[in-house]
Structure 1
Amino acid sequence: MTISERLLHFLAKLSRRSDLVIAILMLVAVVMMLIPLPTFLVDILITANIAVSVLILLASFYVSHPLQFSSLPSVILIATLFRLAITITTTRLILLQADAGEIVSAFGTFVVGGSIAVGLVIFLIITVAQFIVVARGAERVAEVAARFTLDALPGKQMSIDAELRNGDIDQAEARRLRQQLERESQLFGAMDGAMKFVKGDVIAGIVIILVNLIGGFAIGT
Protein backbone atom coordinates (compact mmCIF):
# COMPACT_ATOMS: atom_id res chain seq x y z
CA MET A 1 0.00 0.00 0.00
CA THR A 2 1.44 3.37 -1.04
CA ILE A 3 1.65 6.43 1.19
CA SER A 4 -1.26 8.15 -0.61
CA GLU A 5 -3.44 5.05 -0.23
CA ARG A 6 -2.62 4.87 3.47
CA LEU A 7 -3.46 8.55 3.86
CA LEU A 8 -6.80 8.12 2.06
CA HIS A 9 -7.57 5.07 4.19
CA PHE A 10 -6.75 7.03 7.34
CA LEU A 11 -8.94 9.97 6.26
CA ALA A 12 -11.80 7.61 5.44
CA LYS A 13 -11.54 6.16 8.94
CA LEU A 14 -11.53 9.64 10.47
CA SER A 15 -14.61 10.66 8.48
CA ARG A 16 -16.50 7.78 10.10
CA ARG A 17 -15.35 8.92 13.56
CA SER A 18 -16.21 12.62 13.51
CA ASP A 19 -16.46 12.68 17.30
CA LEU A 20 -12.83 11.53 17.54
CA VAL A 21 -11.73 14.24 15.09
CA ILE A 22 -13.49 16.92 17.14
CA ALA A 23 -11.88 15.66 20.35
CA ILE A 24 -8.42 15.67 18.75
CA LEU A 25 -8.86 19.22 17.43
CA MET A 26 -10.06 20.46 20.82
CA LEU A 27 -7.04 18.83 22.48
CA VAL A 28 -4.70 20.46 19.94
CA ALA A 29 -6.26 23.87 20.64
CA VAL A 30 -5.81 23.45 24.40
CA VAL A 31 -2.18 22.36 23.93
CA MET A 32 -1.55 25.42 21.75
CA MET A 33 -2.79 27.66 24.56
CA LEU A 34 -0.49 26.07 27.15
CA ILE A 35 2.72 25.07 25.36
CA PRO A 36 4.99 27.56 23.52
CA LEU A 37 5.29 26.66 19.84
CA PRO A 38 8.11 27.46 17.39
CA THR A 39 7.48 30.24 14.89
CA PHE A 40 7.55 27.99 11.82
CA LEU A 41 4.80 25.82 13.32
CA VAL A 42 2.75 28.93 14.13
CA ASP A 43 3.10 30.02 10.48
CA ILE A 44 1.78 26.63 9.37
CA LEU A 45 -1.16 26.80 11.79
CA ILE A 46 -2.07 30.34 10.70
CA THR A 47 -1.97 29.25 7.05
CA ALA A 48 -4.15 26.25 7.82
CA ASN A 49 -6.61 28.45 9.71
CA ILE A 50 -6.91 30.87 6.78
CA ALA A 51 -7.36 27.99 4.34
CA VAL A 52 -10.08 26.37 6.47
CA SER A 53 -11.88 29.71 6.81
CA VAL A 54 -11.89 30.16 3.03
CA LEU A 55 -13.15 26.60 2.55
CA ILE A 56 -15.99 27.17 5.03
CA LEU A 57 -16.94 30.38 3.23
CA LEU A 58 -16.95 28.71 -0.19
CA ALA A 59 -18.87 25.70 1.11
CA SER A 60 -21.56 27.94 2.59
CA PHE A 61 -21.91 29.74 -0.76
CA TYR A 62 -22.44 26.55 -2.77
CA VAL A 63 -24.89 24.88 -0.37
CA SER A 64 -28.40 24.84 -1.83
CA HIS A 65 -30.11 23.69 1.39
CA PRO A 66 -29.08 24.38 5.00
CA LEU A 67 -29.18 20.69 5.92
CA GLN A 68 -26.46 19.94 3.36
CA PHE A 69 -24.04 21.66 5.75
CA SER A 70 -25.66 20.67 9.04
CA SER A 71 -22.28 20.43 10.75
CA LEU A 72 -21.66 24.18 10.29
CA PRO A 73 -22.30 25.15 13.96
CA SER A 74 -19.76 22.58 15.18
CA VAL A 75 -17.29 23.66 12.50
CA ILE A 76 -17.69 27.30 13.53
CA LEU A 77 -17.11 26.48 17.20
CA ILE A 78 -13.97 24.45 16.47
CA ALA A 79 -12.60 27.05 14.04
CA THR A 80 -13.27 29.85 16.54
CA LEU A 81 -11.55 27.99 19.36
CA PHE A 82 -8.63 27.20 17.05
CA ARG A 83 -8.32 30.88 16.08
CA LEU A 84 -8.39 31.89 19.75
CA ALA A 85 -5.60 29.40 20.47
CA ILE A 86 -3.55 30.87 17.60
CA THR A 87 -4.11 34.38 19.01
CA ILE A 88 -2.85 33.31 22.43
CA THR A 89 0.14 31.55 20.85
CA THR A 90 1.16 34.58 18.80
CA THR A 91 0.70 36.83 21.84
CA ARG A 92 3.11 34.65 23.82
CA LEU A 93 5.68 34.76 21.00
CA ILE A 94 5.38 38.54 20.59
CA LEU A 95 5.83 39.24 24.31
CA LEU A 96 8.58 36.66 24.91
CA GLN A 97 10.56 36.68 21.66
CA ALA A 98 9.32 39.80 19.83
CA ASP A 99 8.78 37.48 16.85
CA ALA A 100 5.46 35.85 15.92
CA GLY A 101 6.58 34.38 12.63
CA GLU A 102 6.78 35.43 9.01
CA ILE A 103 3.02 35.58 8.33
CA VAL A 104 2.24 37.95 11.20
CA SER A 105 5.19 40.15 10.22
CA ALA A 106 4.13 40.12 6.56
CA PHE A 107 0.55 41.09 7.44
CA GLY A 108 1.80 43.92 9.65
CA THR A 109 4.09 45.24 6.93
CA PHE A 110 1.52 44.88 4.14
CA VAL A 111 -1.55 46.23 5.95
CA VAL A 112 -0.13 49.06 8.08
CA GLY A 113 3.34 49.54 6.61
CA GLY A 114 4.99 48.97 9.99
CA SER A 115 3.51 52.20 11.43
CA ILE A 116 2.01 52.10 14.93
CA ALA A 117 -0.29 55.09 14.27
CA VAL A 118 -1.67 53.58 11.06
CA GLY A 119 -2.01 50.24 12.84
CA LEU A 120 -4.10 51.78 15.63
CA VAL A 121 -6.41 53.51 13.14
CA ILE A 122 -6.86 50.35 11.07
CA PHE A 123 -7.40 48.39 14.28
CA LEU A 124 -10.20 50.72 15.40
CA ILE A 125 -11.91 50.55 12.00
CA ILE A 126 -11.69 46.76 11.81
CA THR A 127 -12.86 46.44 15.42
CA VAL A 128 -15.95 48.56 14.84
CA ALA A 129 -16.77 46.74 11.60
CA GLN A 130 -16.21 43.29 13.07
CA PHE A 131 -18.04 43.81 16.34
CA ILE A 132 -20.96 46.04 15.38
CA VAL A 133 -21.57 45.01 11.77
CA VAL A 134 -20.39 41.41 11.44
CA ALA A 135 -20.68 39.83 14.90
CA ARG A 136 -23.86 41.53 16.09
CA GLY A 137 -25.46 41.30 12.66
CA ALA A 138 -24.71 37.59 12.33
CA GLU A 139 -25.95 36.98 15.87
CA ARG A 140 -29.22 38.79 15.13
CA VAL A 141 -29.73 36.92 11.84
CA ALA A 142 -29.15 33.56 13.55
CA GLU A 143 -31.46 34.50 16.43
CA VAL A 144 -34.30 35.56 14.11
CA ALA A 145 -33.86 32.48 11.90
CA ALA A 146 -34.00 30.18 14.94
CA ARG A 147 -37.07 31.96 16.32
CA PHE A 148 -38.96 31.87 13.02
CA THR A 149 -38.07 28.21 12.48
CA LEU A 150 -39.31 27.21 15.93
CA ASP A 151 -42.46 29.33 15.60
CA ALA A 152 -43.30 27.76 12.24
CA LEU A 153 -42.62 24.21 13.45
CA PRO A 154 -46.15 23.40 14.76
CA GLY A 155 -47.77 24.68 11.56
CA LYS A 156 -45.46 22.62 9.37
CA GLN A 157 -46.14 19.51 11.45
CA MET A 158 -49.89 20.07 11.13
CA SER A 159 -49.45 20.48 7.37
CA ILE A 160 -47.62 17.15 7.18
CA ASP A 161 -50.37 15.46 9.20
CA ALA A 162 -53.03 16.97 6.92
CA GLU A 163 -51.26 15.76 3.78
CA LEU A 164 -50.92 12.30 5.32
CA ARG A 165 -54.64 12.14 6.15
CA ASN A 166 -55.56 13.28 2.64
CA GLY A 167 -53.38 10.59 1.11
CA ASP A 168 -51.04 13.04 -0.63
CA ILE A 169 -48.02 11.41 1.06
CA ASP A 170 -47.41 8.01 2.64
CA GLN A 171 -46.07 7.12 6.09
CA ALA A 172 -42.46 6.94 4.92
CA GLU A 173 -42.59 10.41 3.34
CA ALA A 174 -44.30 11.87 6.41
CA ARG A 175 -41.60 10.37 8.63
CA ARG A 176 -38.90 11.82 6.38
CA LEU A 177 -40.47 15.27 6.46
CA ARG A 178 -40.79 15.20 10.26
CA GLN A 179 -37.14 14.20 10.59
CA GLN A 180 -36.19 17.03 8.23
CA LEU A 181 -38.13 19.53 10.33
CA GLU A 182 -36.43 18.27 13.48
CA ARG A 183 -32.98 18.57 11.90
CA GLU A 184 -33.75 22.10 10.66
CA SER A 185 -34.87 23.24 14.11
CA GLN A 186 -31.74 21.73 15.68
CA LEU A 187 -29.53 23.36 13.04
CA PHE A 188 -30.91 26.87 13.46
CA GLY A 189 -30.89 26.55 17.25
CA ALA A 190 -27.25 25.46 17.16
CA MET A 191 -26.39 28.32 14.81
CA ASP A 192 -27.89 30.77 17.29
CA GLY A 193 -25.61 29.43 20.00
CA ALA A 194 -22.59 29.36 17.69
CA MET A 195 -23.05 33.02 16.77
CA LYS A 196 -23.13 33.98 20.45
CA PHE A 197 -19.85 32.09 20.84
CA VAL A 198 -18.38 33.98 17.88
CA LYS A 199 -19.48 37.30 19.39
CA GLY A 200 -17.72 36.39 22.63
CA ASP A 201 -14.62 35.47 20.65
CA VAL A 202 -14.65 38.89 18.96
CA ILE A 203 -14.77 40.60 22.36
CA ALA A 204 -11.95 38.37 23.61
CA GLY A 205 -9.91 39.22 20.50
CA ILE A 206 -10.32 42.94 21.13
CA VAL A 207 -9.20 42.55 24.75
CA ILE A 208 -6.22 40.40 23.70
CA ILE A 209 -5.07 43.00 21.16
CA LEU A 210 -5.29 45.76 23.78
CA VAL A 211 -3.28 43.60 26.18
CA ASN A 212 -0.74 43.04 23.40
CA LEU A 213 -0.36 46.79 22.90
CA ILE A 214 0.01 47.54 26.61
CA GLY A 215 2.30 44.58 27.25
CA GLY A 216 4.38 45.29 24.15
CA PHE A 217 4.95 48.92 25.11
CA ALA A 218 5.73 47.93 28.71
CA ILE A 219 8.27 45.28 27.71
CA GLY A 220 9.74 47.45 24.95
CA THR A 221 10.37 50.34 27.30
Structure 2
Amino acid sequence: MIAHDIPPMDLAGARLYKEKLDRAAQEALVVALRDVVSVAPFFHPETRWGKKMSVRMTSAGRLGWVSDRRGYRYEPHHPTGAEWPAIPDAVLDVWRDVAGTERLPDCCLINYYGDGARMGLHQDRDEGDFSFPVVSISLGDDALFRVGGIERQGPTQSAWLGSGDVLVLDGPSRLAYHGIDRLRFGSSDLLRDHGRINLTLRVVDVPPARETGA
Protein backbone atom coordinates (compact mmCIF):
# COMPACT_ATOMS: atom_id res chain seq x y z
CA MET A 1 0.00 0.00 0.00
CA ILE A 2 1.08 3.59 -0.69
CA ALA A 3 0.56 5.81 2.35
CA HIS A 4 -1.24 8.93 1.12
CA ASP A 5 -1.31 10.84 4.40
CA ILE A 6 2.41 11.03 5.23
CA PRO A 7 3.69 14.62 5.17
CA PRO A 8 7.14 14.95 3.59
CA MET A 9 10.29 16.02 5.38
CA ASP A 10 12.33 18.87 3.91
CA LEU A 11 15.88 17.86 3.05
CA ALA A 12 17.82 20.77 1.52
CA GLY A 13 14.70 21.62 -0.48
CA ALA A 14 13.98 18.03 -1.52
CA ARG A 15 10.84 16.27 -0.28
CA LEU A 16 11.47 13.03 1.61
CA TYR A 17 8.51 10.73 2.33
CA LYS A 18 9.61 8.25 4.99
CA GLU A 19 8.00 4.78 4.85
CA LYS A 20 5.81 5.80 1.91
CA LEU A 21 5.49 2.16 0.79
CA ASP A 22 4.59 -0.62 3.21
CA ARG A 23 6.22 -4.05 3.09
CA ALA A 24 3.59 -5.57 0.78
CA ALA A 25 4.00 -2.71 -1.72
CA GLN A 26 7.78 -3.08 -1.61
CA GLU A 27 7.57 -6.82 -2.25
CA ALA A 28 5.18 -6.22 -5.17
CA LEU A 29 7.68 -3.80 -6.70
CA VAL A 30 10.51 -6.32 -6.37
CA VAL A 31 8.41 -8.94 -8.21
CA ALA A 32 7.63 -6.47 -10.99
CA LEU A 33 11.30 -5.48 -11.28
CA ARG A 34 12.35 -9.12 -11.67
CA ASP A 35 10.21 -9.20 -14.82
CA VAL A 36 11.96 -6.05 -16.08
CA VAL A 37 15.43 -7.44 -15.39
CA SER A 38 14.57 -10.72 -17.17
CA VAL A 39 14.16 -8.68 -20.37
CA ALA A 40 16.75 -5.96 -19.71
CA PRO A 41 19.51 -7.45 -17.51
CA PHE A 42 21.61 -5.37 -15.15
CA PHE A 43 24.91 -4.16 -16.62
CA HIS A 44 27.93 -2.27 -15.28
CA PRO A 45 28.01 1.21 -16.84
CA GLU A 46 31.29 2.98 -17.53
CA THR A 47 32.13 6.63 -17.11
CA ARG A 48 33.24 8.55 -20.18
CA TRP A 49 36.80 7.96 -18.93
CA GLY A 50 36.36 4.19 -19.09
CA LYS A 51 36.02 3.52 -15.34
CA LYS A 52 33.32 1.07 -14.29
CA MET A 53 30.75 2.41 -11.84
CA SER A 54 30.23 0.48 -8.61
CA VAL A 55 26.47 0.22 -9.21
CA ARG A 56 24.78 -2.03 -11.75
CA MET A 57 21.89 -0.61 -13.70
CA THR A 58 19.12 -1.12 -16.19
CA SER A 59 16.00 0.82 -17.15
CA ALA A 60 12.32 0.59 -17.99
CA GLY A 61 10.24 2.93 -20.10
CA ARG A 62 10.36 4.54 -23.52
CA LEU A 63 14.00 5.50 -22.94
CA GLY A 64 16.81 4.20 -20.76
CA TRP A 65 19.80 6.02 -19.30
CA VAL A 66 23.22 4.70 -20.30
CA SER A 67 26.79 5.70 -19.65
CA ASP A 68 29.92 4.70 -21.57
CA ARG A 69 32.90 6.30 -23.28
CA ARG A 70 30.48 8.16 -25.58
CA GLY A 71 29.06 9.96 -22.55
CA TYR A 72 25.89 10.08 -20.50
CA ARG A 73 22.64 9.94 -22.45
CA TYR A 74 19.24 8.35 -23.00
CA GLU A 75 18.83 5.56 -25.54
CA PRO A 76 15.74 3.70 -26.84
CA HIS A 77 17.43 0.28 -26.47
CA HIS A 78 19.28 -1.75 -23.86
CA PRO A 79 22.99 -2.36 -24.69
CA THR A 80 21.92 -5.81 -25.97
CA GLY A 81 19.76 -4.06 -28.59
CA ALA A 82 16.46 -5.03 -26.97
CA GLU A 83 13.78 -2.44 -26.32
CA TRP A 84 13.38 -1.40 -22.70
CA PRO A 85 10.39 -3.00 -20.92
CA ALA A 86 7.46 -0.83 -19.89
CA ILE A 87 7.55 0.87 -16.51
CA PRO A 88 5.53 -1.30 -14.10
CA ASP A 89 2.13 0.08 -13.12
CA ALA A 90 3.01 -0.14 -9.41
CA VAL A 91 5.97 2.20 -10.03
CA LEU A 92 3.81 4.64 -11.98
CA ASP A 93 1.35 4.70 -9.08
CA VAL A 94 4.06 6.18 -6.86
CA TRP A 95 4.83 8.83 -9.48
CA ARG A 96 1.15 9.74 -9.74
CA ASP A 97 0.95 10.12 -5.97
CA VAL A 98 3.91 12.46 -5.43
CA ALA A 99 4.99 14.05 -8.74
CA GLY A 100 2.24 16.65 -9.02
CA THR A 101 1.96 16.34 -12.81
CA GLU A 102 -0.21 14.39 -15.22
CA ARG A 103 2.79 13.80 -17.48
CA LEU A 104 4.12 10.27 -16.94
CA PRO A 105 7.87 9.58 -16.83
CA ASP A 106 9.74 8.46 -19.93
CA CYS A 107 12.40 6.56 -17.98
CA CYS A 108 12.69 4.51 -14.82
CA LEU A 109 16.40 4.07 -14.10
CA ILE A 110 17.02 1.01 -11.90
CA ASN A 111 20.27 1.01 -9.94
CA TYR A 112 21.42 -1.92 -7.83
CA TYR A 113 23.85 -1.16 -5.00
CA GLY A 114 25.82 -4.13 -3.70
CA ASP A 115 28.18 -4.19 -0.75
CA GLY A 116 30.55 -1.21 -1.03
CA ALA A 117 28.70 0.48 -3.91
CA ARG A 118 28.20 4.24 -3.85
CA MET A 119 27.24 7.12 -6.12
CA GLY A 120 29.25 10.33 -6.16
CA LEU A 121 27.66 13.76 -6.08
CA HIS A 122 26.02 14.56 -9.40
CA GLN A 123 23.16 16.48 -11.00
CA ASP A 124 20.31 14.96 -13.03
CA ARG A 125 20.59 17.25 -16.05
CA ASP A 126 20.43 15.05 -19.16
CA GLU A 127 16.71 15.78 -19.57
CA GLY A 128 15.07 18.35 -21.86
CA ASP A 129 12.81 20.08 -19.34
CA PHE A 130 13.81 20.65 -15.71
CA SER A 131 10.32 21.77 -14.71
CA PHE A 132 9.32 18.13 -14.16
CA PRO A 133 10.39 16.46 -10.91
CA VAL A 134 12.74 13.55 -10.33
CA VAL A 135 11.15 10.86 -8.15
CA SER A 136 13.31 8.28 -6.37
CA ILE A 137 12.12 5.06 -4.67
CA SER A 138 14.36 3.15 -2.24
CA LEU A 139 14.09 -0.64 -1.80
CA GLY A 140 16.28 -2.83 0.39
CA ASP A 141 19.25 -1.83 2.49
CA ASP A 142 19.58 1.58 4.14
CA ALA A 143 21.64 4.13 2.21
CA LEU A 144 23.22 7.38 3.39
CA PHE A 145 21.92 10.00 0.96
CA ARG A 146 23.62 13.39 0.62
CA VAL A 147 22.12 16.42 -1.11
CA GLY A 148 23.25 20.01 -1.55
CA GLY A 149 22.53 22.89 -3.87
CA ILE A 150 23.27 23.66 -7.51
CA GLU A 151 26.99 24.25 -6.79
CA ARG A 152 29.12 21.14 -6.37
CA GLN A 153 31.20 22.63 -3.56
CA GLY A 154 28.24 24.02 -1.60
CA PRO A 155 27.01 22.80 1.80
CA THR A 156 25.15 19.47 1.94
CA GLN A 157 22.73 17.64 4.20
CA SER A 158 22.57 13.88 4.75
CA ALA A 159 19.85 11.42 5.73
CA TRP A 160 19.49 7.65 5.82
CA LEU A 161 17.05 6.36 3.22
CA GLY A 162 15.24 3.18 4.21
CA SER A 163 13.26 0.64 2.23
CA GLY A 164 9.97 2.16 1.12
CA ASP A 165 11.14 5.78 1.32
CA VAL A 166 10.35 8.09 -1.60
CA LEU A 167 12.32 11.23 -2.44
CA VAL A 168 11.25 14.04 -4.78
CA LEU A 169 13.61 16.60 -6.32
CA ASP A 170 11.63 19.46 -7.81
CA GLY A 171 11.55 23.24 -7.93
CA PRO A 172 14.80 24.69 -6.57
CA SER A 173 16.07 21.19 -5.69
CA ARG A 174 15.55 19.77 -9.20
CA LEU A 175 19.18 20.38 -10.17
CA ALA A 176 20.66 19.85 -6.71
CA TYR A 177 23.85 17.83 -6.43
CA HIS A 178 23.14 14.54 -4.67
CA GLY A 179 24.63 11.10 -4.17
CA ILE A 180 24.90 7.96 -2.02
CA ASP A 181 27.87 7.85 0.35
CA ARG A 182 27.48 4.31 1.68
CA LEU A 183 25.12 1.43 2.49
CA ARG A 184 24.30 -0.43 5.66
CA PHE A 185 24.71 -3.69 3.79
CA GLY A 186 22.45 -6.41 5.18
CA SER A 187 20.19 -3.97 7.05
CA SER A 188 17.11 -5.18 5.14
CA ASP A 189 15.87 -8.64 4.16
CA LEU A 190 13.68 -7.38 1.29
CA LEU A 191 16.15 -8.51 -1.37
CA ARG A 192 17.30 -12.10 -1.41
CA ASP A 193 21.01 -11.22 -1.51
CA HIS A 194 20.66 -7.91 0.34
CA GLY A 195 21.81 -4.67 -1.23
CA ARG A 196 19.69 -1.76 -2.39
CA ILE A 197 17.60 -1.02 -5.45
CA ASN A 198 16.91 2.60 -6.30
CA LEU A 199 14.31 3.55 -8.89
CA THR A 200 14.66 7.01 -10.43
CA LEU A 201 11.75 8.29 -12.51
CA ARG A 202 12.28 11.14 -14.96
CA VAL A 203 10.51 12.95 -17.78
CA VAL A 204 13.13 13.10 -20.53
CA ASP A 205 11.75 15.03 -23.50
CA VAL A 206 10.25 18.49 -23.72
CA PRO A 207 6.47 17.97 -24.09
CA PRO A 208 4.98 18.98 -27.46
CA ALA A 209 3.62 22.52 -27.70
CA ARG A 210 -0.12 22.74 -27.15
CA GLU A 211 -2.27 24.20 -29.88
CA THR A 212 -4.28 27.22 -28.85
CA GLY A 213 -7.47 28.45 -30.42
CA ALA A 214 -7.89 31.92 -31.87
Please give the range of the TM-score, normalised by the shorter of the 2 chains.
under 0.3
Q: Given the two structures, how large is their TM-score scaled by the length of structure 1?
A: 0.20
Higher relative contact order (CA 8 A, sep 6+): 1
**Higher normalized strand content (fraction of residues):** 2
Q: Given the two structures, how large is their TM-score scaled by the length of structure 2?
A: 0.21
Q: Which has the larger radius of gyration?
A: 1
